[in-house]
């Protein structure tokens, strides 16, 4: 495989995987965060959860 093919496939795979995550602050994201153990949240996730899901 050529280097260009590998780079193209990598970019395609990355774009497909990133499209699957719900947008921060959306109802789906809030639900996903409720199901995730709070000990696994990052500081940014906790801040965003409070901002978008608790203090709407």
Q: Is residue 6 included in any domain, yes or no?
A: no
User: Which burial class, exposed, middle or buried, applies to 49 when counting CB atoms under 10 A from its CB (0-12, 13-18, 19+)?
Assistant: buried
pLDDT recorded at residue 9: 82
pLDDT recorded at residue 28: 95
Q: Is residue 1 included in any domain, yes or no?
A: no
d(Cα 15, Cα 43) in Å, to the nearest integer?
25
Q: Is residue 30 included in any domain, yes or no?
A: yes
The residue that leads in pLDDT, 21 or 2, is 2
Closest CA to 47 of 2, 32, 38: 38
Q: Is residue 54 included in any domain, yes or no?
A: yes
Residue in the structure block whose two tokens are 């602050």: 25
Residue 42 sits in which domain range? 22-56
- What is the domain count for the chain? 1
Structure pTM?
0.62
Task: Quick: pLDDT tens for 20-37.
Answer: 788 999 999 999 999 999
């Amino acid at each position: 495989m050529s280097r260009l093919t590998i780079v193209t496939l990598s970019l395609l795979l990355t774009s497909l995987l990133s499209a699957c995550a719900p947008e921060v602050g959306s109802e789906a994201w809030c639900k996903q965060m409720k199901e995730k153990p709070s000990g696994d949240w990052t500081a940014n996730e906790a801040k965003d959860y409070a901002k978008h899901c608790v203090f709407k």
